[in-house]
Structure 1
Amino acid sequence: MAPVFFTDLDGTLLDHDTYSHAPARDALAALRDRGIPLVLTSSKTAAEIAELHRDLDLGTTPAIVENGAGIFDPQEGLQGDRGAHRKVLTALDQLPSPLRAGFTGFTDMTVEEVQILTGLDAEASRRAKMRCHSEPGLWTGPQDTQDAFIAGLAQHGIAARQGGRFLTLSLGHTKADAMATVAQHLGATLTVALGDAPNDFEMLDAADIAVVIRNDHGPDVAPLRGEGSPRVHRTTEPGPRGWNTAVLAILEDITARGRE
C-alpha cells in the first residue's frame, strides 16, 4: 500500500484564527516517520505555500495551490505563468458595471486591506496577492445578484467556488483534478483527503478516504459519496486538533491492515 495524504490548510491543518499547525504535531511526525507524502492543498498561492512547505520539511513533495488551479513544484521555485490569472481579471472587467462592482478581489485590495481581512502580517499578505491562477475575494453586492455575477463569469469560462472565507474565481480546475495528477505522479494506491469547506468537496468525494474537519466558521461540506460508511470521517474537533486525531486513527488502521 502506498498512501498519500492531501490536506487543505486554513481551518483544517491550520487553525482558523492563529494559522498554527502546532496541535497537529504528533500526526505530522507520524507521517514523516513513515515516509508518507503529505500534499498541501489550498487556495493559497505558491508564494504562501513555499514557506509552510519548508517549515514542515516536505522535501520535494509537490503542493496544490490556488484551489487546484496550479501545482507548485518546490524543485522549480516560484516562477509561474500568470496567464490564467490575467484571463480571470479580463473576464471580471467585461461584466456589467453593477455586477463587477459587487466583487472585491485580492487584486482590488491593498496589502493593508488583505491584512485586515485575513489577519496575516504584511509580508504574508503580500504573498497572498501573488496570484498566478485564480482570484479570491468577497461578494459585497446585493445577495440576489450574486447568481447573475457567477452566471456572467461562466459565459467567459470562469468558475466561482465558495471557500471557508472567500469566493474564488478560476478557469475551473478543482482540487480533485490536481489531486489525481499528483497522486499518479507519486504512485499513490490510497488517497486520503482532509478538508473543512465546500471548495474541498470534489477532492473529498474523489479520495479513497475522506476526512471532513469540523468547521465552526462557515458552511459545512455537503454529504459525500459513501457518507455514513468507514470511507467518510467527520471530526468532532475543529482545525488541527481534529486533523491530528483523524490522521493518527487512519495511520493506525493502515498499519493494522498491513499486518493482515
Structure 2
Amino acid sequence: MTLGPRLLVFSDLDGTLLDHRTYAWQPAAAALERLRLAGCGVILASSKTAAEIAPLRDAIGLADWPAIVENGGGLLAPGADGTEIAQTYAELRAAIARLPQGFTGFGDMTPQEITDHTGLPSDGAVRAQARQFSEPGLWIGTDADRDAFVAAAQDAGLTVQRGGRFLTLSFGGTKADRMDEVIDRYRPEHTLALGDAPNDAAMLERAEIAVVVANPASPGIPPLEREDSPGATRGRIIRTKAEGPAGWAEAVNAILDDLATTKDPNPHG
C-alpha cells in the first residue's frame, strides 16, 4: 500500500497564512519550502473563491494540491484555474432575497465597494465576486436584527458562518467536510490545521494538531473542546503569539521539529 504524506496541513488564508492588512504570505515562505522538501502537503482552506485561490495557490507553489474554497462549499482540483461556474450560486442568491433585509452580499456590491471593504486590488475584487457556492456579505443593522436574520436563514435551510469581517451564507458544507474528503484521498499520517476565526473552529477540531493564529482584528476563537478537557484530548492545540504568516511559520517549524524527533509507534497504520 502506498503511504500518504507524513503531514497534511490545512490552512486558512486571511489573517492566518496571509497578513490581515497586506495579504502577504512571504513571511511563511521558508516554512512552506521546508514542508515541500519534507514531502508534506498544504491544502489552502478559505472563504475565497476558486478564481481567487487558483492564482494565489500557483504563486505559493501549491498547485499540485487541492484547495478548499468558499468556506467548504467546494474543492478546487489540483492544477485547475477556478473558472468553472456552478448554478448553486444563483439559487443561493434567490434564497437570500427572500430573507429579512439588512444583509449586503458581494453580489450586491460593485468591485470598488469590495475593494473598500477588503483592501483587495480591483482585479482581486472581481475574482472575489466569481462565486459558485456561497455569499459573504456585511450586516447593516442591529445585533438583534442580525440574530433574527440568521434564524430566518437557518429556517430556510441555509448555513451561516461568521468570519473575520463577514457573514457567509451557503447551502451547507464546511471546511471540515471538505477536509474529510481530502484526508480520505491522501491518507496522511498526521494532520495539522491552522486558522484565526470562528469559521475555522470545526476544521481545527478535526485535525490532530490545531494552531490558532493570533489576529487582533478577528472575533477570535473561543476555547476549543480539546482545550477544555486536556485529559481526554488527542493531539494538541497551539495558540501563537505572533500574528498572521509569522505566527503560522513559527508554529509549523515547531511542529516539524517535533515530528523530526519522534517516530510513530505504528508508522504503516
TM-score (norm 2): 0.91
Measured in 2, the distance between the counterparts of 1:176 and 1:114 equals 27
| CA RMSD across the alignment | 1.5
Cα pair 1:197 1:219 within 8 Å, conserved: yes
Per the alignment, residue 13 of structure 2 pairs with: 9
Alignment of 1:33-112 (within 5 A): 33-95=37-99, 99-100=100-101, 102-112=102-112
The offset of 1:75, in angstroms, is 3.3
1:250 aligns to 2:255 (yes or no): yes
The list of structure 1 runs, each at least 4 consecutive aligned residues, that deviate by more than 6 angstroms after superposition, is none
Q: Which amino acid aligns with 1:15?
A: D
Measured in 1, the distance between the counterparts of 2:22 and 2:213 equals 17
The offset of 1:74, in angstroms, is 3.1
Alignment of 1:119-134 (within 5 A): 119-134=119-134
Measured in 2, the distance between the counterparts of 1:217 and 1:76 equals 32
* Alignment match of 1:32 (pick from 11, 14, 36): 36
Measured in 2, the distance between the counterparts of 1:93 and 1:119 equals 27
The offset of 1:2, in angstroms, is 2.4
Cα pair 1:50 1:74 within 8 Å, conserved: no
Per the alignment, residue 150 of structure 1 pairs with: 150
Instruction: Write the deviation string for residues 53-99 of structure 1: whole angstroms up to 9, x where unpaired.
Output: 1111113200000001110013343243422222221111112xxx2
1:213 aligns to 2:213 (yes or no): yes
Measured in 1, the distance between the counterparts of 2:17 and 2:79 equals 23
Q: Which amino acid aligns with 2:216?
A: D
Q: Which amino acid aligns with 1:34?
A: A
Measured in 1, the distance between the counterparts of 2:207 and 2:91 equals 30
Q: Which amino acid aligns with 2:58?
A: R
- Cα pair distance change 1:50/1:76, threshold 3 Å: closer
The offset of 1:211, in angstroms, is 0.2
Per the alignment, residue 201 of structure 2 pairs with: 201
Measured in 2, the distance between the counterparts of 1:32 and 1:133 equals 30
Secondary structure at 2:194's aligned position in 1? strand
The offset of 1:16, in angstroms, is 0.2
> Bigger CA drift: 208-217 or 146-155?
146-155
Cα pair 2:64 2:78 within 8 Å, conserved: yes
Alignment of 1:155-174 (within 5 A): 155-174=155-174
Q: Which amino acid aligns with 1:82?
A: A
Q: Which amino acid aligns with 1:168?
A: T
The offset of 1:135, in angstroms, is 0.2
Measured in 1, the distance between the counterparts of 2:109 and 2:263 equals 51
> Bigger CA drift: 217-226 or 63-72?
217-226
Measured in 2, the distance between the counterparts of 1:64 and 1:226 equals 24
Cα pair 2:6 2:39 within 8 Å, conserved: no
Per the alignment, residue 141 of structure 1 pairs with: 141
Cα pair 1:2 1:187 within 8 Å, conserved: no
Measured in 2, the distance between the counterparts of 1:166 and 1:150 equals 13
Per the alignment, residue 227 of structure 1 pairs with: 227
